[in-house]
Amino acid sequence: MFVFLVRRLLQAVMVMLAVAFIAFLMFRFLGDPVNNIVSQDATQVEREEVRQRLRLDDPLVIQYGRFVANAASGDFGISYRNSRPVSALLAERFPATAELVLVAAILSLALGIPLGIYTALKPRGVLSQGLQILSLIGISLPTFVTGILLILVFSVWLGWLPSFGRGDVVDVGWWSTGFLTASGLKALILPSFMLCLFQLTLIMRLVRAEMLEVLRADYIKFAKARGLKNRAIHFRHALKNTLIPVVTIFGLQLGGLIAFAIITETVFQWPGMGALFIQAVNFTDVPVMAAYLVMVSLIFVIINTSVDLLYNVIDPRLRTDPTRATGKGA
Amino acid sequence: MKKFLLAATAAALVQLGLMGNASAAELRYAAAGDIYGLDPHSMTDSFSINFLQHVYEPLVRYNKELKIEPALALSWEVIKPDVIRYKLRQGVKFQDGADFGADDVVVSLMRATAEKSPIKGNLPALKSVEKIDDYTVDLHLSGPTPLLNNYLTNIAIFDAGWLEKNNAVAPVDAQLGEEGYTTTHANGTGPFKVESRRPDAQTVLVVNEGWWDKPEHNLTKITFTPITSDATRVAALLSGEVDIITPSPLQDAKRIASNPGTKVLESPGLRSIMMNFNMRDKLVDGNVEGNPFKDARVRKAVYQAINMDLVRDKIMRGKSRNAGMQIAPEVPGFDAKLNERFPYDTAASKALLAEAGYPDGFQFNMNCPNDAYVNDEEVCQAMTAMLAQVGLKAKLVTEARTLHFKKAQEGQTDMFMIGWATLPMLDGFSVLSAMLHSPEEKLGTWNPGGYKNAKVDELVKKIDVELDETKRRAMMVEAFGITEQEVAWLPLHQQPLSWAVRDNVEVVQTADDLLRLWYAKVK
């Protein structure tokens, strides 16, 4: 187990180094941050001065090396746009994104699994058919369109929910939370629903398909023959076996939620890391972009490691010692 | 744990209570982007600088008509051509209670023009500031500077003692890797003070009861929220969550106007959109020898091939103002006669091309931004089609502005689009010095095409130091007359400003597209 974690940690470092390097290769194509910093009619000399002060005239490899060296000591530099430390900016924005993604993830599971089971158990029901059609729409509409539609219906027409922002937030230490105020909770509804919609439909359809498959399996027939209650068959035996692929997909999609949060945050002006990243792109704010990408890649690695660990919990058959499997036992 | 929960619940209840009774004199304002920080000396972004003028004030300021009026300075006189004396207003207090005086002006102006100050370009020519007495300062300049007051409208005055106490006398330097105190704290003399700020989420200003000036506004509180997405910003206005939005997207104007309780405010702005010509020896992407754009007849042929009435009516929905000059009517140096465009005339255009030796036209590239100006990409697409009708093949490249302006500045284009509002200077000299003077040192910084006319260069240098306003303007008109005859640039139009408000809000819409809420009223 320990060896497994250490190995994963090393992989994480490699992934982050690679992401940062690719990021630095790409930043060159984003334009020149100097133009955004100096006034429009700044002279060439002034531009060169700024370039030198920000050390943008160094070769790419040196800029990358400096970024990695500083990042290793926890220093991600200063944002060109906000003139504040990038680590402070990210820490400030992290709670907003984390809460949004958390709520969206819970929603997608809490709604997706029961709906999936329902449509699998009653495949011919009117409600099931309706849900199937709805899920098709949910999976094929681009999320920003659903976001705008949600705003139009619930904010503009009905006036029930806010169209932007996090509402009132309460600071608990450095963490600013929207969970403790009514307006904060209200503000969460539309963006988290928009964000979870794709995942929700995906999980629902996946659970349905897996469940239908499992219900045809022999052991279910035997269980029925043994006279077990439908409830026990469906939930104890069938559901457990449908969950393995769901966990895999959910793990992969959790990273997707963080990535898609960029769009949700832009549509709803949610002050999270995604919105920060979009601004950084518009301004060519290299330190912010690099730090964000590295951080997201770290989150991805953490999620996938957790998913691998979860397999062991759900399916005992997968509990093999990775060191023995490769033949290099400790 | 119990204690914490109690505290959290209490906090939540307080927040709820505040939410319920939004006072009538609160104004909720949403713009497309956030301000960069709270230090007006740390950025050149005119939106941020203007927003911070609600908190920090300059020595002189623009009024509703964009004319300069006294603010923290009461009066000024020219002692010598390069020494200007400012008498300061007495009895002004900073928001933390400190008195305003000459020391604050000395420290603030030196801070803004320090070697590492990002805004030193906004106040050129300042050598030093001398304190004469507690309410008098002399500004020593490197030469006669007719536009000194224009520059000063953009320079915020800080409290010297407060800066010293918080170790912030030196400008914020991004390279030092330290966070500046002034980036997150503010203490000015202005009509409002900062109550709270969450970057990219909300900035709350409350009225400064101790303001020296008689308020024309009736606001007690301004809640500012950046909303990047156009659709969301409009929705927030329509649903009554905000009272004013800037900008309001052109395509939503009808919807906002027809919605009961909201209206659109539109007027042509200061920002003039124009095209630059490559006049270097070779085209970047041409199919002919040399560079046809060096010939004024070719440039005029391009000019006359473009039907700006059509662009105005079809693309700008009738809201733009076609321009023959590179500056708007509000800007000193403007001349109504010069603002008449050469007529749209494809026959004349073809004749000019034939005369110049290109009867079949030629090919070149044309670069446009797609996120900088109102319908910028559409305007360029229309121009490409119009140019094709006289045989000119413009290869259109549209890109994000960070890329576009980099290429433009580096001379990688044959024609490129740029918009110029002359801010913060608000004077025709801005265009003459940056775009029409041939590139040399501090002049011609936005003349990558390399237009050069000795007479214009000479005039620009004279205008720079002419203190007699009448003579100065006459020379500007003369210079613009020459460049227009030579079609040094291709002026297009002034793009429309578009804001939207709820019916109970009264604001002053100035052509510089900056919202001055000390003139706002909520009924």
Provide the residue-wise pLDDT of chain B in tens; the chain has 523 residues: 444 444 444 444 444 433 333 445 899 999 998 998 899 998 888 889 999 999 999 999 999 999 999 999 999 999 999 999 999 999 999 999 999 999 999 999 999 999 888 888 888 889 999 999 999 999 999 999 999 999 999 999 999 999 999 989 988 765 555 678 998 999 999 999 999 998 888 999 999 999 999 999 999 999 999 998 999 999 999 999 999 999 998 889 999 999 999 999 998 899 999 999 999 999 999 999 899 999 999 999 999 999 999 999 999 988 899 999 999 999 999 999 999 999 999 999 999 999 999 999 999 999 999 988 989 999 999 999 999 999 999 999 999 888 898 899 889 999 999 999 988 889 999 999 999 999 987 888 899 999 999 999 999 999 999 999 999 999 999 999 999 999 999 999 999 999 999 999 999 999 999 999 999 999 8
- What are the DSSP calls for B179-192, one per residue? --HHHH----SSSE
Work out the minimum CA distance from A135 to partner chain B, whole angstroms: 25
Best CA proximity match to A76, nearest among A292, A272, A291, A294: A291
CB contact under 8 A, B232 and A163: yes
Using N-to-C axis directions, what is the helix angle for B2-20 and A182-215, rounded to 10°?
110
CB atoms within 10 A of CB A232: 11
Q: How confident is the model at residue A294 (pLDDT cuts 50, 70, 90)?
A: confident
Amino acid at position A219, single letter: Y
Please state, in angstroms and as integers, the Cα–Cα distance from residue A330 to each residue in A6, A13, A319, B87, B448, following that order: 14, 23, 17, 83, 67
Mean pLDDT for chain A overall: 84
* Chain centre distance of CA A259: 5
Running DSSP on this structure, what letter comes out for residue B461? H
**Per-residue confidence (pLDDT) for residue A319, from 0 to 100:** 60
Are B240 and A159 in contact, with CB atoms under 8 Å apart? yes
CA B444, B47, A290, B397 dihedral sign is negative
Of the three residues A72, A94, A113, the one that is the final residue of a domain is: A72
CA distance B179 to chain A (A): 5
CA distance B122 to B113: 8
**A45-64 residues touching B, CB cutoff 8 A:** 45-46, 50, 53-55
CA B190/CA B395 separation, integer angstroms = 50
Phi-psi region of A74 (alpha: psi -120 to 50; beta: other; left: phi over 0): left
In chain A, which residues have their Cβ closer than 8 Å to the Cβ of B401? 31
- In this prediction, residues A207-223 reach a mean pLDDT of 86
Q: What is the DSSP string of A268-303?
A: TT--SHHHHHHHHHHHT-HHHHHHHHHHHHHHHHHH
Q: Output the pTM of the full model.
A: 0.85
Count of Cβ atoms closer than 10 Å to residue B78 Cβ:
12
What gap in Å lies between CA B112 and CA B104, rounded to an integer?
A: 12
Residue B41's φ and ψ, nearest 5 degrees, are: -90, 0
Torsion-angle region of residue B34: left (phi > 0), alpha (psi -120 to 50) or beta? Answer: beta
Name every residue whose Cβ is closer than 8 Å to that of residue A245 and which is 6 or more positions away in sequence. Answer: A206, A210
More confident residue, B493 or A39: B493
Chain A residue with Cα closest to B20: A183
Nearest to B248 by CA among B24, A148, B262: B262
Task: Map tokens 């927040």 to a residue.
Answer: B15
CATH number at residue A325: 1.10.3720.10
Beta-carbon contacts below 8 Å between A and B: 186
The ranges assigned to domains in chain B are 35-198, 272-494
* Choice among A40-44, A288-292, B246-250, B422-426 with the minimum mean pLDDT: A40-44
Residue A208 included in any domain = yes
Residues paired with B522 in a beta bridge: B505
Same domain? A187 vs A316: yes
pLDDT of residue B234: 95
- Tens-place pLDDT, residues B208-218: 999 999 999 99
Q: Cα–Cα distances in Å, from B42 out to B160, B196, B226, B509?
A: 17, 19, 19, 26
Domain that holds residue A116: 86-329
Tokens 């800066």 map to which residue? B163
Does residue A78 belong to any structural domain of this protein?
A: no
Tally the domains of chain A. 2
pLDDT at position A269 is 92
Q: How far separated are the first and last CA of chain B, in Å rounded?
A: 46
Are residues A66 and A90 both part of a single domain?
Answer: no
Query: Is A53 in the same domain as A163?
Result: no
Q: Which of A83, A181, A266 sits opposite B15 (nearest CB)?
A: A181
CA atoms within 13 A on the CB side of B279: 24
Contact B12 A180 (CB under 8 A): yes
A81 lies in a domain?
A: no
Percent pLDDT > 70 in chain A is 94
B118 contact residues in A (CB cutoff 8 A): 37-38, 50
Task: With CB atoms and an 8 Å threshold, state whether A267 touches B231.
Answer: yes
> Cα(B208)–Cα(B218) distance, rounded to whole angstroms?
12
- A39, A135: one domain: no
DSSP A178: S
What CA–CA distance (Å, rounded) separates A150 from A111?
Answer: 18
Contacting residues of B for A85, CB less than 8 Å apart? 177, 179
A89 at the B interface (CB within 8 A)? yes
In three-state secondary structure terms, B497 is strand
Of A72, A100, A120, the residue that ends a domain is: A72
Cβ atoms of residues A269 and A275 within 8 Å: yes
Model pLDDT, residue B177: 56
Q: What pLDDT does residue A325 have? A: 46
Second-level CATH architecture of B272-494: Roll (3.10)
Asked if B261 has any chain A CB less than 8 Å from its own CB, the reply is no
CA-nearest of A329, A248, A262 to A296 is A262
State the pLDDT at residue B13: 42
Report CB contact under 8 Å: B172, A83. yes
Residue A91 to residue B309: CA distance in whole angstroms: 51
Q: Is B7 on the interface with A (CB under 8 A)?
A: no
Rounded CA-CA distance A41/B121 in Å is 8
Interface of B with A in 175-234 (CB under 8 A): 175-177, 179-180, 183-184, 198-202, 225-229, 231-233
If asked whether residues A202 and A174 sit together in one domain, one would say yes
Answer yes or no: do A189 and A283 share one domain.
yes
Quick check: A275 and B200 CB within 8 A?
A: yes
Residues A294, A260: one domain? yes
At residue A52, the pLDDT reads 82
Statement to judge: residues A189 and A50 lie in one domain: no
Contact A44 B116 (CB under 8 A): no
The structure tokens listed for A136 are 């098709």
Q: Tell me which residue of A241, A243, A256 sits closest to A303, measured CA to CA.
A: A256
- Closest partner residue to A165 (CB to CB) among B44, B201, B441 is B201
For residue A158, the chain B residue with the least C-alpha distance is: B239
- Nearest alpha carbon to residue B463 among B440, B497, B504, B434: B434
In this structure, the dihedral spanned by the alpha carbons of residues A100, A106, A107 and A109, taken in order and rounded to 10 degrees, is 140
- Asked if B39 and A83 come within 8 Å (Cβ–Cβ), the reply is yes
Is A77 a domain residue?
no
Indicate whether A130 belongs to any domain: yes
The closest CB to that of A35, out of B177, B225, B402, belongs to B402
Q: What is the pLDDT of residue B133?
A: 95
Q: Are B511 and B266 in contact (CB under 8 A)?
A: no
Q: Where are the beta strands (DSSP E) in A165-283?
A: 170-172, 175-177
CB contact under 8 A, A89 and B199: yes
Q: CB distance B121–A38 less than 8 Å?
A: yes
Q: A71 vs A8, A87, A231, B212, B458, CA distance in Å?
A: 20, 10, 54, 48, 52
Residue of A nearest to B13 (CA): A181
Min Cα separation A126/chain B (Å): 35
Please indicate whether, in this complex, the C-beta atoms of A31 and B116 are within 8 angstroms of each other: no
Please tell me if residue A313 touches chain B, with a CB cutoff of 8 Å. no
Residue A327's pLDDT band, with cuts at 50, 70 and 90, is very low
Which of B19, B119, B445 has the CB atom closest to A41's CB atom?
B445
A35 with B406: Cβ contact below 8 A? yes
Write out residues 336-395 of B within 8 Å (CB-CB) of A: 371
Structural contact between residues A70 and A294, judged by C-beta atoms closer than 8 angstroms? no
Residue A180 belongs to some domain of the structure: yes
Do residues A224 and A138 share a domain? yes
pLDDT of residue B43: 85
CATH architecture of B35-198: Alpha-Beta Complex (3.90)
Q: What sign has the CA pseudo-torsion B499, B398, A45, A78? A: positive
Confidence at residue A5, expressed as pLDDT on a 0 to 100 scale: 80
